[in-house]
Structure 1
Amino acid sequence: MALPIGQQFRYWGIAAAVAMIALWFLGDVILPFIVGGAIAYGLDPLADRLERWGASRVVATSIISVFAILIFVLMAVLIVPMIVNEAVELFESAPELFARLRDFLSERFPELGDAESTLRQSLASIGKTIQERGGEFAKGVFSSALGVINAVVFIVVVPVVAFYMLLDWDNLIAKIDTLLPRDHAPRIRQIAKDIDTTLASFVRGQLTVCTILGVFYAVGLMLVGLQFGLVIGFIAGLISFIPYIGAVVGGVLAVGLALFQFWGEPWMIGAVAAVFAAGQFLEGNILTPKLVGESVGLHPVWLMFALSVFGSLFGFVGMLVAVPVAAALGVLARFGTEQYRKSLLYRGLDRDDVAEGPE
């Protein structure tokens, strides 16, 4: 006899609560394992493709691991230091940029020339604050990230976890399948398949889109000659998983800096704006339709809400799991909505009406 629905909800609710509490208390400890598992999940399709081409799972995993380590080392040695330096320089130059903005506004609006003007004082205060706090923030973020990356435990654990999880991924999924409640196994498999489809289409595809856009923006701005073009392109690409936000934030920063750097050269300012216009065209018409698709994307508001909630509750680990959890909850919400539409609660019929059917 199957367990009543109420008891099943109680047991699974307790299990979910225990998982959340464990995530709360073990956030920093399990970070390498979450990162390693995420890497294995992302690389599993590539390993499966190599297997179809005739390689064993061990050989496929070894090839992927070697190339992944080489790419990671090259990025850490060549790209990250450049981004850090430009970010620090951008924060350090903030007071000068705000001073020039103040002078520009003073020329157009003479009433702002008053030293006691609220706007004048605000601009000066903002510039000093960004210089004092922004530089520390940039150095702290990157130094913390580099500190974690350079920590012996992180360096050792993440590749090892990723390697073994990638090696045993199919066996791991098969073992998890044997633990599913037999009464609900087919439905759980279908929900898990839908979640995997969402993650594969959105997360993997969107990461590829963000990477391509980041490189495009950075290279385009550097070719135009914009100062701090590399860090602005990196920021724009990093947040491009939220539609339009990456282009808007990056475009405002880039055009704002271009106004100071290329004042009197409108064609150069237009060139900076054209880089982001071309990036938006590339994203909307080529990259997103091809790599992400249109049917499984997560709503930007839901995505920002999940990032805010999980980031505030669980810190950096929460930020890492926010997108997968948001995707899973989105699938579960669609499933729940579908079940609700089939229920008596939605249809407004009693059981006798359902049994008799329409006359």
Structure 2
Amino acid sequence: MKALVFDWFRRRFSDPNAITLFLLLVFGILAIYALGNVMAPLLVALVLAYLLEWPVQKLLGLKLSRTWSTVLVMVLFIGLTLVAMLFLVPTLWTQTSNLVKELPTMLDHVRHFVLELPSRYPSLVQPEQIQTLVDESQKTLINWAQAALGATVASLGNVVSIMIYLILVPLLMFFLLKDKDSLLAGFDRFLPRNRKLAQQVWHEMNVQIVNYIRGKVLEILIVGIASYITFAIFGLRYSALLGLAVGLSVLVPYIGAVVVTIPVALVAAVQWGFDSTFIYLMVAYGVIQALDGNVLVPILFSEAVNLHPIFIILAVLFFGGIWGFWGVFFAIPLATLVKAVVNAWPMPPEPEALPEAK
């Protein structure tokens, strides 16, 4: 057994470039796992810098210096962010407060509807089953409410940290954009010489990450705005809040669409009941989800490496369980990284066949 292990290790790691790639991957994973909370502002700045690199490149094509291109893009980005916050935050805050106040009433409607199921369908549903379901659901909701309250109280102590992040992240973004070339050159000096495979994986992943972040932001905006307009046309309450939730749900492929459907259906059912308006709204919502998955995603992520839905869901669950939000956000690029490493890794030579006996 020991001989087989040593033989496998010798064949797989005989190339110095493979050893360099392996060590860089291990060091990067350990650094993010151990210093994830400390590196959160840098991760946010990196994501936004990747997003803003495209307009910076466009301005560089107009013969502007990288410094002035970065200044113009940052000023425009901060201005648009402030305008969006001034117009959206008050509306979202009001709708969230109203939804929290009305949530007990909405859940009470759901409870009454569920308790009436045995009388409507006595051959399919038993009263004992419904009562057990209601009791378990109430316990779960109480636990969720307590956890949400604890998270809210804990977040109040992080106001200072949030204010620091609001200062650090734009500064980090500015320097990452302005000094991109010098930072990469300085980082390159500390890497080993045998890094051919690492460079191959890096170039492939760089294209994937740029495409993914830009496409994901556009997908959030398009799906969120389309959902808000649809909800507003139907007169659905909390349309802005629900539209934002639907837009953000695309961060978690497949799972997010299923989860966000619950509050949309709950608000619509309490507002109209299960009449024709409810059905038309859910059909329109289903059309948005279908267009997102079958039209928008292939267009926005045309340069991405194709991954089977099973691998995407497993990547979301695995990386999300390790790194939380950032693991979920980067689940697809991380899954693509695994695929790129597997494709770039040198295959061991086939053992020579023994000569045939004459």
Q: Deviations over 1:287-319 (max 9, x none)?
A: 223221175244444344334334433445555
In the other structure, the counterpart of 2:130 is: 119
Q: CA RMSD in A?
A: 3.8
- Tell me if the contact between 1:148 and 1:154 (Cα under 8 Å) persists in the aligned partners: no
* Residue in structure 1 matched with residue 279 of structure 2 by the alignment: 270
Matched residue count: 341
Residue in structure 2 matched with residue 157 of structure 1 by the alignment: 168
Cα distance change, pair 182–291 in 1 and its aligned pair in 2 (3 A): same
- Letter paired with 2:133: S
- The farther-off stretch of 42-51 and 128-137 is 128-137
Q: Match of 1:41, as an amino acid? A: Y
How many Å separate the matches in 1 of 2:315 and 2:129?
A: 37
Structure of greater relative contact order (alpha carbons < 8 Å, 6+ residues apart): 2
Q: Within 5 Å, give how 1:1-359 maps onto structure 2.
A: 5=14, 13=22, 16-110=25-119, 117-120=128-131, 122-123=133-134, 126-127=137-138, 129-130=140-141, 133-134=144-145, 137=148, 140=151, 144=155, 147=158, 151-177=162-188, 179-185=190-196, 187-263=197-273, 265-266=275-276, 268-284=277-293, 286-293=295-302, 296-316=305-325, 318-319=327-328, 322-336=331-345, 339-340=346-347, 343-345=348-350, 350=352
CA shift, 1:47, in A, is 0.7
Structure 1 residues 143 and 291, CA, compared in 2 at 3 Å: closer, same or farther? farther
- 1:258 counterpart letter in structure 2: A
Shift of 1:82: 3.5
Q: Partner amino acid for 1:192? A: W
**Following the alignment from structure 2 to structure 1, what is the Cα–Cα distance between the partners of residues 114 and 177?**
57
CA distance in 1, matches of 2:154, 2:315: 26
Where does the alignment leave 5 or more consecutive residues of structure 1 unmatched?
354-359
Q: Helix, strand or coil: the match of 1:296?
A: coil
> Following the alignment from structure 1 to structure 2, what is the Cα–Cα distance between the partners of residues 149 and 291?
37
Q: Offset of 1:195 from its aligned partner?
A: 1.1
2:296 maps to a residue whose letter is: L
Say if 1:44 and 1:169, in contact at 8 Å, map to a contact too.
no
| Structure 2 unaligned regions, length at least 5 | 1-12
CA gap 1:351/1:62 in 2 versus in 1, 3 angstroms: farther
d(CA) in 1 for partners of 2:149 and 2:229?
Answer: 22
User: TM-score of the superposition, structure 1-length normalised?
Assistant: 0.77
Residue 151 of structure 1 aligns to a residue in which SS? helix
Given the two structures, how large is their TM-score scaled by the length of structure 2? 0.78
Shift of 1:170: 2.7
Q: Give the residue type in structure 2 aligned to 1:287.
A: L
Q: Shift of the alpha carbon at 1:141?
A: 6.1
CA contact 1:95–1:131 (8 Å) conserved in 2:
no
Q: Are the structure 2 counterparts of residues 18 and 331 from structure 1 closer, same or farther at C-alpha, using a change threshold of 3 Å?
A: closer
Q: Aligned partners of 2:59, 2:153: CA distance in 1, in Å? A: 35
Amino acid at match of 1:350: E
TM-superposed CA distance for 1:42, in Å, is 2.1
- Could you tell me which amino acid in structure 2 is paired with residue 193 of structure 1? H
- Secondary structure in 1 matching 2:39: helix
C-alpha contact 2:17 2:198 (8 A) present in aligned 1: no
Amino acid at match of 2:84: M
What letter corresponds to residue 168 of structure 1 in structure 2?
Answer: D
1-side partners of 2:24 and 2:304: how far apart? 31
Task: Find the aligned partners of 1:296 and 1:58 in 2 and give their Cα distance.
Answer: 33
**Aligned counterparts of 2:322 and 2:290: Cα–Cα separation in 1:** 36
Give the conservation status (yes or no) of the 8 Å contact 2:253–2:312: no
Q: 2:47–2:213: 8 Å Cα contact kept in structure 1?
A: no
What fraction of aligned residue pairs are identical, expressed as a percent? 23
Q: Name the SS for the 2:250 alignment partner.
A: coil
More displaced, 60-69 or 143-152? Answer: 143-152
Change (3 A) 1:285 1:314: closer
For the Cα contact (< 8 Å) 2:224–2:244, is it kept in 1?
A: yes
